[in-house]
Structure 1
């Protein structure tokens, strides 16, 4: 039995239909199977790009305004054919390059006016096909070719190779790429940039794409560090952001140490990952956190901020590889309907998510869980690794349970989630420390309450009924049944300061370091520091003071609930953490109608009496 894509795919040789057998599907669902299934997914993605590329050519041919001052796209296509004849592998390197996917998707949306805008003229984007052809010809060693390619603000990109800078050009211009006497030149306005024999090296006017070669225990990984390709962004073109030699050295070091952890601790990922992740877009550091992201169009690439430690980078690599692997599978197999309603809670996001986004998150954080399970087992005294395992096992398991019976899942979707649930069940009985379990539960409650406070709204009639009961000195039964509506526009801003601080606190020399750096953690307060240090009373007083200054701050209200939980005021804490939107809405209503107003804590304590 197999799952087949519904679209026949044209290749240069014969029409194909990409499929995945149920056996391969099951291995992918279980994050197993090695590189072979990943290569099949990459082949399907290659064919998708060819279809879009053919469509761009068809929609551009006969419309000179769309390729502007450049030659017809047929000229670029002919050069691609020459490159394929000279060295098919060279053409494959360009076609399967992650940002060929980004470019073809973005340019397709531009042609079809699908809510995409950019300062570059359309012909600059169309003309990237000429740059792809030039790059393929260079890689294939095609002699004597010449072709005009677009330049934007003096920058002319050659995908997989690098970028040339020629001064004195207008914002949008053309430059010539040519093969002359065994060397490659890029020229315009009498200025010439020569690409060095090793194109990854820098030279006057040239910045090459560098590659980091890693080897750990015989497992090799070649990762491009691409800081120049214009289509390496997630949502549209972006300018070069050249790493300094020092930053490049740091990346080499961290990637080497992260790869050693992956090969040693999660060898199944080390076996498959090189087939699906070959390029990293380095972003500036983000203090106390390691944001990363990937795009379904850029198969093989991840955007990752500069790491501070190898374990966090290793977790980010397997996380993004999972997104890439699932993105490829979704080109072939539908796991859910086309429903894109933002309606579900995901504990790794601050906004309501569609079902597809939640499945992506579950799959990615499943790998994070597996990595930290192995790391904490290997380093039992590592408090941070123990917390990460306990936390993500809890969050992934709960989220998976929430969507297992979703009506929008297909048969394949149910089967996919069943495999994930079976593997998580194998880990459910793994012992974790009491401290790790406690912090995990507290942080889970923190995130859920913050999400609910900002994205749930009690019905106005419910709020009026509760406010009237308070003012009349009565109690109102059934607080848990108070109706709410889900909205995507958040009521108030959220901050990740407590989670950031806790990870500092649980890391090496954590108590001292947390005291030292807490003011540098974005949006952190003294109450947050007290909470992660386990001082519930000090945290409670701190959050009370914050709420006296502004009773509408989401982070302070949820912090109050966490501190009350830590100091064993369970009933009041439960109301704040489970129904924070009701506490705030009722408190707002009372404040409008009486002075002096009660505190949010007093309202929450009153609401807690309705459940007794």
Structure 2
């Protein structure tokens, strides 16, 4: 194809609008994949061209141009092999990471030649897939040699970095250094001495198939920088197979449209260690097709996590074709799913991801009316997504395309706000949302210093209230937190609403990280014990966010009142005034008393 025949990638408005509404199907995902392929080729060629400007930069390995020539040869013999390597998510991670190293003239986690030399690993992996004859020199990192998409060779070595030689001929594929020689098995899915293959999980539900790599080997599978292999045991792999099977069954049953598109956009899962009582996950726009997910035996939470990351993957691909916002890195916006202020780009990603998560819980709650946890999750995330969307819909940093994107989400998300949810789960969702926002305010908002001084002075003089008029809102949030953070109360809510809720709360609640006796009392319905528990915590630590907001929630559970109102809606002001009073001579009132005084004038 000549340059005149090249056609730039673009996204039609029809496809864009379908994507914004959560649709588009596998055809749209394949289109995004094609865009990623072109982007990676450009980055790859750019890395090679940059390396050519400094001839010695690749030593002790050959020039990256050698790898390009091998890829070009394999492209002629077996184009599908090259396409597999280009489509590999961590080819994108490597290309982005190494490009940044080139531009910033820094070394990285390994010596620069090791990062640059990974291109030889990519070319060798394509040649192995093609069954081609070749010879190559590959970088060794801590005794490992990567063959992306295929597996890892382990060699004995006396130094952290080195060079291995790989050959392919009549005697098969052989990798060697001065100390070791490893012959790859004929069946590369079989583990042997010195060879560890990438495992694959394949799940079926009817005629719907999900086949993904469980990649614990690729050095560029990490979120921010390269990481060494962390091999799962055979038992851990089987646990993953079981829970992925169950999660796929849920998605194929309750979200068939998503299940049709997801296999085209999610090809690799990076297993992360389990985290008690939650399931964190992550992805990056450079690794299109990959998600990092912590292990959990809860198939419902895993299904929600897969949808969440699939949304991130798709949006990352779209953002390489469409500009949704200007370059605005300011960490200034509240979102109900993070404990820190977020830039506009992160907010848009969160809205789209939790829009997808809401859709999953909505479908599951409709199919299983007695599933109180699904109802809670639906109520929590539909409100969180909608609240955030409305807050940023007219943000100055959005482009017209970005507003069209949010409008598309809104067409689906708005009607969900009116759908009925059982009173219990809905009330707990409201409690969780209030807890999160109040704690976030306490940690990241700083009240006006003049207002704090005036209130403290009025208290000291016994005045009913200073002549302030309407209390000014706190200023732009700071990313520097004031106090610790815990999601313990929401974790406890999930225990209470899950299977065998009361029993689970009693047995497992005390092990929830960050949970206090007062939290357990609040979630167990012992409101007076909770109030006393939080009061006791505040005597020891008057500025603790968990106890301040917890007391507000417990007081609110007894009925609305001025102290509860101030602690939940202006907690940062209550704490700031109380700090000033504590610093002065005389008897210091307790936090609740100050909150009750401020709350009389807070709406």
CA-to-aligned-CA distance 1:80-115 (integer Å, 9 cap, x gap): 01211111111000011000000011111111127x
1:135 aligns with 2:141: no
Superposition pairs of residues 347-366 of structure 1, within 5 angstroms? 347-366=336-355
Q: Which residue of the other structure, out of 230, 240, 243, is the alignment partner of 1:241?
A: 230
Which secondary structure state, in structure 1, belongs to the residue aligned with residue 257 of structure 2?
A: helix
Q: Which consecutive unaligned segments of at least 5 residues does structure 2 have?
A: none
2:41 matched residue in structure 1: 50
In structure 2, which of residues 163, 167, 181 is the aligned counterpart of residue 178 of structure 1?
A: 167
1:392 is paired with a residue whose SS is helix
- After TM superposition, the structure 1 stretch with the greater mean CA deviation from structure 2, 95-104 or 70-79, is 70-79
Are 1:149 and 2:146 an aligned pair? Answer: no
Secondary structure, in 3 states, of the residue corresponding to 1:127?
helix
With 332-341 and 194-203 compared, the bigger mean Cα shift is at: 194-203
The aligned residue for residue 35 of structure 1 is 26
- The residue aligned with 2:279 is 290
1:506-533 CA distances to partner (integer Å, 9 max, x unpaired)? 1111111111122221111111111122
**Are the structure 2 counterparts of residues 506 and 168 from structure 1 closer, same or farther at C-alpha, using a change threshold of 3 Å?**
same
Structure 1 position 32, deviation (Å): 0.7
Once the two structures are superposed, the pairs formed by residues 108-257 of structure 1 within 5 Å of their partners are 108-113=99-104, 118-143=108-133, 145-181=134-170, 183-257=172-246
SS in 2 for 1:373: helix
State the SS of the aligned residue for 1:175: strand
Check whether the contact 1:575–1:608 (CA below 8 A) recurs between aligned residues. yes
1:52-131 aligned at under 5 Å gives the runs: 52-113=43-104, 118-131=108-121
In 1, the alpha carbon distance for the partners of 2:297 and 2:570 equals: 37
State the Cα distance separating 1:452 from its structure 2 match: 0.7
Q: 1:464 aligns with which of 453, 456, 461?
A: 453
- Counterparts of 1:444-523 in structure 2 under 5 Å? 444-474=433-463, 475-476=465-466, 478=469, 480-523=471-514
Displacement of 1:482: 4.7
In the alignment, the residues of structure 1 paired with residue 330 and residue 475 of structure 2 have an alpha-carbon distance, to the nearest angstrom, of 17
The alpha-carbon deviation at position 610 of structure 1 amounts to 2.1
| Deviates further, 87-96 or 592-601 | 592-601
Instruction: With the length of structure 1 as denominator, give the TM-score of the two structures.
Output: 0.96
- Residue 146 of structure 1 aligns to a residue whose secondary structure is strand
Distance 2:338 2:147 in 1: 36
Conservation of the 8 A alpha-carbon contact between 2:448 and 2:472: no
Task: Tell me the CA shift for residue 11 of structure 1.
Answer: 9.7
Q: CA deviation at 1:580?
A: 0.7
Q: Which residue of 244, 255, 259 corresponds with 1:266?
A: 255
The residue aligned with 2:531 is 540
CA deviation after TM superposition for structure 1 residue 141, in Å = 1.1
Tell me, yes or no, if the aligned pair for 2:566 and 2:602 is still in contact at 8 Å.
Answer: no
| Residue ranges of structure 1 left out of the alignment (5+ in a row) | 1-9
Any conservation in 1 of the 2:109–2:225 contact (CA below 8 Å)?
no
Aligned match of 1:4: none
The answer as to whether partners of 1:99 and 1:232 remain within 8 angstroms in 2 is: yes
Residues 117 and 174 from structure 1, CA distance in 2 versus in 1: closer, same or farther, beyond 3 angstroms?
A: closer
Match for residue 400 of structure 2 among 411, 419, 429: 411
The answer as to whether partners of 1:501 and 1:521 remain within 8 angstroms in 2 is yes
In structure 2, the CA distance between the partners of 1:299 and 1:611, relative to structure 1 (3 Å rule), is closer
Pick closer, same or farther for the CA change 1:394–1:117 going to 2, 3 Å: farther
| Deviation of 1:55 (Å) | 0.9
Please state whether the residue corresponding to 1:66 is helix, strand or coil. coil
Distance 1:89 1:445, change over 3 A: same
Query: How big is the alpha-carbon RMSD for the aligned residues of Structure 1 and Structure 2?
Result: 1.6
Are the equivalent residues in 2 in contact too, given 1:131–1:158 (CA < 8 A)?
yes
Shift of 1:198: 2.3
The 3 A distance-change label for structure 1 pair 482 and 225 is closer
Deviation at residue 499 of structure 1 after TM alignment: 1.1
Q: Distance in 2 between matches of 1:337 and 1:140?
A: 43
Q: Distance in 2 between matches of 1:444 and 1:524?
A: 17
Q: In 1, distance between residues paired with 2:187 and 2:392?
A: 51
Aligned residues: 601
Residues in 2 aligned to 1:205 and 1:496: alpha-carbon distance in whole angstroms: 43
Tell me how far apart the structure 2 counterparts of residues 137 and 172 of structure 1 sit (CA, whole Å): 23
Contact 1:35/1:273 (CA < 8 Å) preserved in 2? Answer: yes
For residues 53 and 150 of structure 1, the distance between their equivalents in structure 2, rounded to whole angstroms, comes to 17
The offset of 1:480, in angstroms, is 3.5
Matched, 1:580 2:595: no
TM-score under structure 2 length normalisation: 0.97
CA contact (8 A) 1:387 1:439 kept: yes
How far does the alpha carbon of each residue in 1:427-470 deviate from its partner, in whole angstroms, 9 at most, with x for none?
Answer: 12211011111111110010001111110001222111110011
Residue aligned with 1:16, SS: coil
Q: 1:14: Cα distance to partner?
A: 5.5
Q: Deviations over 1:549-603 (max 9, x none)?
A: 1101111111111111111133321211111110000000001113331111100
Q: Distance in 2 between matches of 1:94 and 1:12?
A: 24
SS of 1:610 mapped into structure 2: coil
